[in-house]
Amino acid sequence: MAEQTNATAPEALSDAANLEMLKRERRANNVWHKLTRNKMAVVGLIIVAFMVFLAVFAPIISPYDPNATDMSNMFAAPGQAGHLFGTDSYGRDLLSRIIYGARISIFIAIGGTIVGAIIGVLLGLVAGFFGGAIDSIIMRVMDGMMAFPFILLALILMTILGQGTQNVIIAIGVANVPNFARVVRGQVHVVKNEEYCNAERVIGASPARILFKHIFANAMSPVIVYFTLNIASAIISEAALSFLGLGVQPPTASWGAILSEGKSTLQTAPHIATISGVFILLTVLGFNLFGDGIRDVFDPKQKR
Amino acid sequence: MSETQAAAVAERPQVASGEPILSIKHLSKDFRLRGGKLFSKPQVLHALSDVSLDVYPGETLGIIGESGCGKSTLGRCVVQLHQATSGQIVYGGQDITKLSGQPLKAVRKDIQMIFQDSYSSLDPRYTAAKTIEEPMLIYRTESDASKREQRVLEVMREVGLDVQHLQRYPHEFSGGQRQRINVARALVLDPKVIVCDEPVSALDVSIQAQVLNLFRHLQQERGLTYLFISHDLSVIKHISDRVAIMYLGRVMELCPADKIYAHPLHPYTKALLSAIPPESPFDKKQEIKLQGEIPSPVGEQVGCPLAGRCPFCMERCRHERPSLEEVEPGHRVACFKYHDVVAE
Amino acid sequence: MTEQNTGLLDDAGTKSGERILEVRDLKTYFHTAAGIAKAVDGVSFSLDRGKTLAIVGESGSGKSVTASSVIRLLAKTGKIEDGSIEFDGIDMVHVPERELLKLRGSDISMIFQDPMSGLDPVFKVGTQMVELIRAHSDLGKKEAYDRAVEMLRLVGIPDPEARMDAYPYELSGGMCQRVIIAMAVSCHPKFIIADEPTTALDVTVQSQVLSLLRGLQDELGTAILLITHNLGIVWEMADDVMVMYAGRTCEYTSMRELYSNPLHPYTWGLLDSMPRLSDTAKTDLKTIPGVPPDLRLTGTCCNFCNRCPYATEECHRRVPELKEVEPGHFVACLRQDGEHRLVRGEVNHHE
């Protein structure tokens, strides 16, 4: 056989040394290692982790019941009377409401994005893989949906579906479908023309096998990036809907709802709107930084 | 080289005989190009025009030509990656261009392909073992996972890889090793015919030699038939028994491999030979120059495809197309210059 | 490095002022997350005006990195660690970026493998040429245009005036490479770096492009650093040849000497593994077993020792220096110096 490893390879070029290099390379190319080399991504990840921590452990962390009113202690300034973030117009503890709000806001943002991603990815896969008329029909519908401003579309859906957490998730999800469909379709177009898809056809693989076992996995990296970045915008969407009174029902706390309540008392009690606004800002920033970091990890043409 | 191998070489027929294993008959492939302007007529690119070739069992038929000559399209038509516009590809008594579904899948098992780009033809997320195992899963040839594993290793050893390579990803291999994985994937189903589309063009010289030797050994051991496509004349001559020279979607010359160097006939073949860099600094080349560039394959094709560039072009060449005629035993040329000689 | 390593540097060239490029002990390393890759690890060579030096090697041999180091056109992770590069009296390692930009395109031109990468797809060929000529000379618009047309005619492009208005995508690969060459020579550079200039082209176009380059060289007295993996092109083009393997020079001599008297086992392997048109026997090609080493692991032994049929214990422990084994013939092999001699083919290749 032509290839033989020379039995007398020196130590420096031995199989063991080569294996060590392979291991080093795998470590260096490991997604987690690459991500943690990017400082801004780590900052983003910490922010995101902190917010998720708040949301998950809300009942344990929050010092008060978020919905317990205290009429004797309305509009308390931050730090007053044992309320770190002060209280709102009903005397409810703002810190507790923010913590519980994280639960609702992040839940809705992630839930909405998942709904959008699932539908969008499926449509995008089908459109990109089969092309032709199917592609045209799906993508023209998507274009039609995209022609509406995002918030208008969500507003229309909310009006049709009515209020409620579940419906906010559906509205945000549906409004995000075209974006996911576009990203996936574009990526499928790239991947399906890769030679390995031809190679699969030659070995007799069925279209379904090629689509789900090969194209799907290889088209996913931009979707993961887009998914993370999309959570950030979904948080804003939820806030906007709640701000407009179409989001979650009071007295449920969400960041958008708190911001909306704070709006009317911006002059007298600015801390309500400010603090909720800062949390929205931080979380959006966190997801964005994290998403950018993931993009750099997945993008082969990344600058170092 | 061992004696058994030498014997095997000697046994191979110099001029193919018997029944062809694969028969390409009057194959044409057009691509429709959308017009550049609105409402303009779609144009037709003639990638392959009326190609007829017989491939005999156990031989290597080399296909050579410059970029755009249709050699890759031909390979892709044979493995049914392209649907031929007209003509037939006969394998095992049936025209495979008409097949679909299960019958096509059954034929695909016998006709495999190895691509030029060893990297992009492997799924980057599949390890070598998984890639080589996949055909067995598709055809359900082996239901027992450990037996499949054993078979993967067996084939990997056959192509010169080993246990330590099983769990590696494509980017962790060198170009030559990756091409070996491609070969292993093609071999695992025990095919009869392998279409090799420039399989060594992207490899370094020393690695290219290893892979070429691998192809030879596999052919000797398994009795494979190759349709070997390349733009490199010395590679083609080395590996092939017979060579077809293509230009602008047509076969210009078809002859035993030795003759292409010793006794080329077609002006295009001669020009191609004279353009190859010398084998030593003391070689003085006699250059046969073709005028201008390769004409566009788009639109109506009239006359000999080489007419505009050929130094021996006659009036007749401009509006009549020479067919591929046998001018010597086993040597076919598509050129009026030789047809007339034979006729006289 | 020792004095012996200065290669052909010490001949008449320096004195007569014919020397245009002198590289001494160049080391270019790439710093990656998984370690330092020694892409070029101590390479010396020189080039005279009007001459062609070919650097031959396989991928990963460091031939392209050597060429890019000369004009400091390296990826961000790459760094010239050591050594000197003197081009026409200029210290290329330390010259400021701004001066370097001026040099590229005027005194030094580059031709790369992919002709399309050298042309901007959104501008017409003529616009790009005129811009380049004007950037490096004080010609007016009209004169620069005329010069561009003249250059296109020189490289054998039919109907050059019409081609001036063409976009790169409207030209074939061969045409594009001619335009690149026209651009490369339009400012009468003293030195052209051609990195696999014909690898992407068909053979018939390749032979045209090569004879074009040679013609221009005769006419303009340009020095060419030719990077290639194709020995046929070397026989056709080069005066001197340097064979590189895994970042180091194996053999450095004149082209004719390399052909008629190659001395390094790697060169032998390279020559033997090429299929030849004139061969009639249908036998196996001779191969070099194994694969080139990981460039992060090289530097403590002869880099070729694990593939070399002649390797001894000593080759595993020592890095061979480049030594002048015969007049003007430099070889880096422990078993191939003044005292010891190998006989080619004395040890059979594996199998």
Contact C287 B209 (CB under 8 A): yes
Q: What pLDDT does residue B35 have?
A: 58
Write out chain B residues lying below 8 Å of A19, CB-based.
164
Binary contact (A13, C293; C-beta < 8 A): yes
How far is C245 from chain A, CA to nearest CA, in Å? 15
**Helices B175-187 and B128-139, interaxial angle, to 10°?**
20
CA-nearest of C57, C45, C108 to C240 is C45
Q: What residues in A contact B121, CB-CB < 8 Å? A: 195-196, 198-199
pLDDT more than 90, % of chain C: 32
Count of beta carbons in the 10 Å neighbourhood of residue A1: 14
For residue A202, give the nearest of B79, B160, B210 by CB distance.
Answer: B79
How many Cβ atoms are within 10 Å of B196's Cβ, its own excluded? 27
**Percent of chain C scored above 70 by pLDDT?**
93
List CB contacts (< 8 A) between C235 and chain B.
277-281, 283
Query: Rounded to 5 degrees, what angle do the CA atoms B198, B204, B206 make?
Result: 110
Contact in structure between C61 and C22 (CB atoms under 8 Å): no
Enumerate neighbours of A (3 or more CB pairs within 8 A): B, C
Size of interface A-B (CB pairs under 8 A): 71
Chain A / chain C CB contacts < 8 angstroms? 69
**pLDDT for A36-91, tens place per residue?**
888 889 999 999 999 999 888 888 888 777 777 777 777 777 777 677 777 777 77
Q: Is the pLDDT of residue A186 over 60?
A: yes
Torsion of CA C267, C270, C275, C281, to 10 degrees: 60
Q: What is the pLDDT of residues C207-246, one digit of tens each?
A: 888 888 888 888 888 999 999 988 889 999 999 999 999 9
Sheet containing B86-91: which strands, arranged edge to edge?
B43-55, B22-33, B86-91, B94-95
Of A245 and C189, more confident: C189
Judged by a CB distance cut-off of 8 A, whether residue A195 touches chain B is yes
Q: Which of A2, A10, A29 sits opposite C306 (nearest CB)?
A: A10
Q: Helix or strand or coil: residue C285? A: coil
Distance from CA of C196 to the nearest CA of B (A): 13
Chain A partners within 8 Å of C307 (Cβ): 6
The answer to whether the CB atoms of A203 and B135 lie below 8 A apart is yes
The nearest CA of chain B is from the CA of C341 a distance in Å of 24
Are C249 and C44 in contact, with CB atoms under 8 Å apart? Answer: yes
- Both tokens of C20, joined, read 């245009």
For residue range A233-269, what is the model confidence (pLDDT) as tens digits?
888 888 888 888 787 777 788 888 888 888 888 888 8
Mutate to test the interface with B, among C52, C253, C277 (most CBs of B within 10 A): C277
With 0-12 CB in 10 A as exposed, 13-18 as middle and 19+ as buried, what is A279? buried
> What is this structure's pTM?
0.84
How much is the mean pLDDT over chain A?
84
Closest chain A residue to the Cα of B188, Cα to Cα:
A203
Residue C4 has pLDDT above 70, yes or no: no
| Chain B contact set for C174 (CB, 8 A) | 293
Strands B86-91, B22-33: pairing is antiparallel
Over residues A107-158, the pLDDT tens digits come to 999 999 999 999 999 999 999 998 889 999 999 999 998 888 877 888 888 8
Mean pLDDT estimate for chain B: 86
Cβ atoms B126, A220 nearer than 8 A: no
- State whether residue A49 sits within 8 Å of chain C by CB: no
Q: What pLDDT band is residue B1 in, cutting at 50, 70 and 90?
A: very low
Report the gap between the CA of A8 and the closest CA in chain C (Å). 7
d(CA C155, CA B190): 52
Give the list of residues 6+ apart from residue A127 with CB closer than 8 angstroms, or none.
A134, A135, A138, A139, A181, A185, A188
In angstroms, rounded to a whole number, what is the distance separating the alpha carbons of residues B73 and B79? 10
Residue B333 has pLDDT above 80, yes or no: yes
Q: Which of A29-43, B36-50, C267-281 has the lowest mean pLDDT?
A: B36-50
B-chain CB neighbours of A198 within 8 Å are: 76, 81, 115, 121
Q: Name which of A211-215, C202-206, C310-314 the model is least confident about.
A: C202-206
Residue C268: what pLDDT? 92
Q: CA–CA separation, B270 vs A130, rounded Å?
A: 46
User: What pLDDT shows up at residue C351?
Assistant: 33
pLDDT at C197: 86
pLDDT of residue C28: 94
pLDDT of res. B38: 62
CA-based nearest distance B130→chain C, Å: 23
Q: What is the mean pLDDT of residues B261-279?
A: 88
Instruction: Answer whether C317 sits within 8 Å of A8, measured CB to CB.
Output: no
Confidence of residue C5 (pLDDT cuts 50, 70, 90): very low
CA of C285: which chain B residue's CA is closest? Answer: B209
pLDDT at C78 over 50: yes
Listed ranges A84-93, B39-48, C55-64; the one with the highest mean pLDDT: C55-64
* CA-based nearest residue in chain C for residue A23: C34
Neighbours of chain C (3+ CB pairs under 8 A): A, B
Give the chain B residue whose CA is nearest to the CA of A210.
B123
Mean pLDDT of A13-26: 82
| pLDDT at res. B36 | 58
Lowest mean pLDDT among A216-230, A276-290, C194-208, C322-336: C194-208
Beta carbons of A204 and B125 less than 8 Å apart: no
Quote the minimal CA–CA distance from A304 to chain B in Å: 19
Chain A residues close to B105, C-beta within 8 Å: 204
Q: Please, are residues A40 and A291 in contact by the beta-carbon 8 Å criterion?
A: no
pLDDT at position A185 over 90: yes
Query: Which chain A residues have a beta carbon less than 8 Å from that of C298?
Result: 12-13
Q: What is the pLDDT of residue B9?
A: 43
C16-42 per-position pLDDT tens digit:
568 899 999 999 999 988 889 999 999
Domain boundaries, chain B: 22-31+43-265
Q: How far is C161 from chain A (nearest CA, A)?
A: 38
Q: Is the pLDDT of residue C11 over 60?
A: no
C232 Cα to chain B: minimum distance (Å) = 5
Per the listing, tokens 């005292």 go with: C339
- B22-31+43-265, CATH topology level: Rossmann fold (3.40.50)
Spell out which residues of chain A touch residue C77, defining contact as CB-CB under 8 Å: 304
- Chain A (57-86) residues lying within 8 Å, Cβ to Cβ, of chain C: none
Residues of A in contact with B168 (CB under 8 A): 22
Residue A282: what residue type?
L
Q: Give me the helices (H) in B228-319, please.
A: 233-239, 257-262, 267-275, 315-319
Assess whether pLDDT exceeds 50 at residue B10.
Answer: no
Subunit contact C275:B212, Cβ cutoff 8 A: yes
Task: Compute the average pLDDT of residues B208-225.
Answer: 93
Confidence of residue A4 (pLDDT cuts 50, 70, 90): very low
Candidate ranges A165-174, B183-192, C340-349; pick with highest mean pLDDT: B183-192
Contacts of A5 in chain C (CB under 8 A): 289-290, 306
For residue A299, the model assigns a pLDDT of 65
Asked if A13 and C301 come within 8 Å (Cβ–Cβ), the reply is yes
Contacts of C171 in chain B (CB under 8 A): none
Scanning every residue of chain B, which has its alpha carbon at the shortest distance from the alpha carbon of C280? Answer: B258
Residues 6+ apart with CB under 8 A from B182: A199, B114, B115, B118, B121, B122, B199
Phi, psi of B193 (to 5 degrees): -120, 135
